[in-house]
Amino acid sequence: MQDIAAWGLDAAVASGANYADVRVIEERHRSLTTKNGKLGHAADDDTQGIGIRVLLQGAYGGAWGFASSDDCSRAAVTATARRAVEIARASAQLGQRQLRLAPEAAHQAIWVAPCELDPFSVGVSEQLDLLLAVDRELRGVAGVTLAEAQMNFQRHHQLFLSSQGARIEQTRVLSGAGFAALAFANGDIQKRSYPNSFGGQFQLKGYELVRELHLLDHARRVGEEAVALHRAPQCPQTVGTLILDSSQLGLQIHESIGHPIELDRVLGSEANFAGMSFLTLDQWKKLRYGSELVNVVADARLEHGPGLGTFAFDDEGVAAQRTDIIRNGAFLNYISSRETAAAIGETRSNGCMRAESWNRLPLVRMTNISIVPGPEPLSPSELIADTEDGFYLETNRSWSIDDKRFNFQFGTEIGWEIKHGKKTRMLKNPSYSGITTEFWNSMDAICSRDHWTLWGTPNCGKGQPQQTMGTGHGAAPARFRNIKIGTAYQQSQSGAGQ
């Protein structure tokens, strides 16, 4: 890898780049799924390639160029570097402004993320046996019509070199697992997932994550809940008190905090594909984002936990950091790159540039965007007991939010009504909606650290061509007042009015 990266860097500088960085990446992926007692999908593949990014500063302004190749021969790497410079030179003719990069030390490091059990050392047959056992348990529940289970593993080995002298080698192993039960009856489909929807839980861990999840132990309960939802009443439409479980709160953070704080989105770079942000620069360090209990950080450091947004250095060589995004409800910071940080007068990037693979250009991406748990001991059961009347919603089912991340609507798989401090009847098709800042300002309680989980969101899309990245979101169950509830499903699929 060292030779390949050096060939690319030397060729880019020799071709006239004022700045260049090179990423040589080796990746291995394994994906396994089962569906109703049969193998659904099995893949195990490797990839290697090089991505070269260059910056040219000329009389007409500055411009980036990027090129990549899966041919890592010296001739191909040299040609790729020259192509990146040609692209930058052509783009510079458009007369863009001079681009500045916030300074960063030229780090020299080798970093390997903790991994107790390499998932690729565990036989595929053993992994499939577990998935099929979960599948059998789910289908053992009368009324379950579809059982799905899956595991996903990735090893990412990267060498980063820059013309400013950085040399950083990192290895990360990511794992994910989960399952779902679907029940179809009377024209209606209900679904329950474990430990989370959209594939389960994902973290910066090895196969130990799968064992920690105890998948088989939860299968029957999940299947029974999917079937029981058909007998549950529709979630009523009202304005009331809402308690979100930690996984749903994690997605709420992702959509209504994580995306709007991306500085490239604020500056207009994502307008065509993923929209912009209501967090315009005139609101920086002025906006009351939430209540005094809302404290949110962007933290890529290993100390924060084994998140999908955990690393030692981002993809332009900036060291992992913890950044206060919201402190006691006040909006303080965006997440940035070296270029966007400099554009708003910041002296350093907070290290949020990442690319999906060697053939994609790094973009400003969420790391681990997490809400800080409450300082006083508070469990979910105690939070419910402290709530006279309300609703407890769990596990995301659907989401919708506008291009500026301001107006939103979420549906969850299951809900419970709270009466006199106790969870009572199960509710189907629960949902809630609101306006981002009003919602976060209505938060009046959050559970403590013992009930905080760092959830993995593996499917965050951004950029053209699109890049799918993993992000982390730590959250504990929290309570919100005066929320519109039951607005998403005006009529259930079975025809029952709401």
Per-residue pLDDT tens for 441-466? 999 999 999 999 999 999 999 999 99
The pLDDT value recorded for residue 234 is 96
The pLDDT value recorded for residue 60 is 66
The pLDDT value recorded for residue 496 is 32
The pLDDT value recorded for residue 475 is 98
Task: Answer whether residue 493 shows pLDDT above 50.
Answer: no
Other Cβ atoms less than 10 A from the Cβ of 93: the count is 11
Burial class (CB in 10 A: 0-12, 13-18, 19+), 253: buried
DSSP track, 277-330? -S--GGGTTT-B-S-TT--EEEE-SGGG-S-TT--SB-TTSPBP-EEEEEETTE
Read off the pLDDT of residues 93-128 as tens digits, 9 standing for 90 and up: 877 678 899 999 999 999 999 999 999 999 999 999
Read off the pLDDT of residues 55-76 as tens digits, 9 standing for 90 and up: 998 766 789 999 999 999 999 9
The pLDDT value recorded for residue 58 is 76
Beta strands at 296-299 and 322-327: parallel, antiparallel or unpaired: antiparallel
The pLDDT value recorded for residue 490 is 58
Please give the Cα distance from 2 to 14 (Å, whole number): 18
Please give the Cα distance from 352 to 316 (Å, whole number): 9
Task: Answer whether residue 492 shows pLDDT above 70.
Answer: no
What percentage of residues in the chain have a pLDDT greater than 70? 97
Q: Does an H or E element contain 137, and which? A: helix 124-139
Q: Under a CB-based contact definition with an 8 Å cutoff, are residues 152 and 177 in contact? A: yes
Task: Answer whether residue 283 shows pLDDT above 70.
Answer: yes
Q: Does an H or E element contain 341, and which? A: helix 338-343
Other Cβ atoms less than 10 A from the Cβ of 347: the count is 8
Task: Answer whether residue 491 shows pLDDT above 70.
Answer: no
Q: Under a CB-based contact definition with an 8 Å cutoff, are residues 160 and 1 in contact? A: no
Please give the Cα distance from 256 to 242 (Å, whole number): 17
Q: Which residues of the chain are in CATH 3.30.2290.10 domains?
A: 2-231
The pLDDT value recorded for residue 201 is 98
Q: Under a CB-based contact definition with an 8 Å cutoff, are residues 496 and 230 in contact? A: no
Q: Does an H or E element contain 240, and which? A: strand 238-244
Please give the Cα distance from 163 to 168 (Å, whole number): 13
Higher pLDDT, 271 or 195: 195
The pLDDT value recorded for residue 59 is 66
Q: Which of 101, 81, 86, 105 is nearest to 9 (CA)?
A: 81
The pLDDT value recorded for residue 92 is 85
Q: Between 74-92 and 2-14, two packed helices, what is the crossing angle to 10 degrees? A: 40
Please give the Cα distance from 86 to 191 (Å, whole number): 51
Q: Which of 266, 55, 66, 307 is nearest to 176 (CA)?
A: 307
Task: Answer whether residue 497 shows pLDDT above 70.
Answer: no
Q: 2-231: what CATH class? A: alpha beta
Please give the Cα distance from 213 to 235 (Å, whole number): 30
Beta strands at 167-185 and 201-203: parallel, antiparallel or unpaired: antiparallel
Residue at token pair 């620069």: 281
The pLDDT value recorded for residue 35 is 98
Instruction: Check residue 477 and report its DSSP letter.
Output: -
Read off the pLDDT of residues 364-387 as tens digits, 9 standing for 90 and up: 999 999 999 999 999 999 999 999
For range 77-95, the mean pLDDT: 92
For range 396-419, the mean pLDDT: 96
Please give the Cα distance from 181 to 356 (Å, whole number): 30
The pLDDT value recorded for residue 270 is 84
* Spatial CB neighbours of 345, under 8 Å, sequence gap ≥ 6: none
Please state, rounded to an integer, the average pLDDT across all residues of the chain: 95
Return phi, psi of residue 59, to 5°: -65, -30
